[in-house]
Amino acid sequence: MDMDIVPGDDRSGTLSPAQYNFAIGLTLLWGFVINWLMVANISPAAIAQIPQLLFFIGYALCCLAGIYLFRHSSNPLVSFLGYNLVVIPFGLVINLVISQYDPLLVYDALRVTTLVTVGMMCLGSLFPAFFQRIAPALTMALLLVIIVELVEVFIFNIHHPLLDWAVAVIFCGYIAYDWSQANSLPRTLDNAIDSAAALYMDIINLFLRILQIMSRNR
């Protein structure tokens, strides 16, 4: 899941470049720490006991509400609330997924995700116009892959490994795009939070796909 960043209407309270980047980094760190605490303190078995339909509906509603809040609000506190409404359901999914893998594999996937993320941010800074141009293509490609994946899973009961590679590549592009987009917005606290929220979703989705790819290679 990825959502384009919509700049807030409030142009007051402009931050310096260093303050703006620090706010983005701190917001991202907050989300990752919350996820780590959830993994460390919530039993995957307890999450698995939630009825699947109820879990899916709750996950979707919470994420959509969070995305709506941080996309449409120019109030940093409201945007931060929306960000947390995305972080919490993502944390539950992360908890369920990584419980199926060896911890060393999870750490390796985290390392690779971090390196790829930094690399794509650098590319987003060097070639912002390119990633702005391909953003519509990324969206169409992601929708197509999601449809194909759903058809394979629910109709043919299979999952092709190439789909994980396709999604990983798409989210690499989204990381570069969202980082370039963040640098093109007015440097306000609200835009920093909005940018961090978009990047958070990109990074988590990339991590989950990298984890699946690496698990097959081992």
117-128 pLDDT, tens digit per residue, is: 999 999 999 999
**Are the CB atoms for 159 and 152 separated by under 8 Å?**
yes
pLDDT category, 9, cuts 50, 70, 90? very low
- Cα–Cα distance for residue pair 51/182, rounded to 1 Å: 38
Calculate the average pLDDT of the chain: 93
Those residues with Cβ within 8 angstroms of residue 203's Cβ, 6 or more apart along the chain or in another chain: 28, 113, 117, 171, 175
Q: How confident is the model at residue 109 (pLDDT cuts 50, 70, 90)?
A: very high
pLDDT of residue 217: 77
| Predicted confidence (pLDDT) per residue in 192-210, tens digit | 999 999 999 999 999 999 9
pLDDT band at 158 (very low <50, low <70, confident <90, very high): confident
Residue 160: pLDDT band (50, 70, 90) is: confident
From 2, 199, 34, 35, select the one nearest 117 (Cα to Cα): 199
- Of the candidates 202, 174, 165, the one whose C-alpha atom is nearest the C-alpha of residue 86 is 202
In whole angstroms, give the CA distance from residue 165 to residue 172: 11
CA dist 190 and 36 (Å) reads 24
Distance from C-alpha of 143 to C-alpha of 97, rounded to nearest angstrom: 22
> What pLDDT was estimated at residue 5?
53
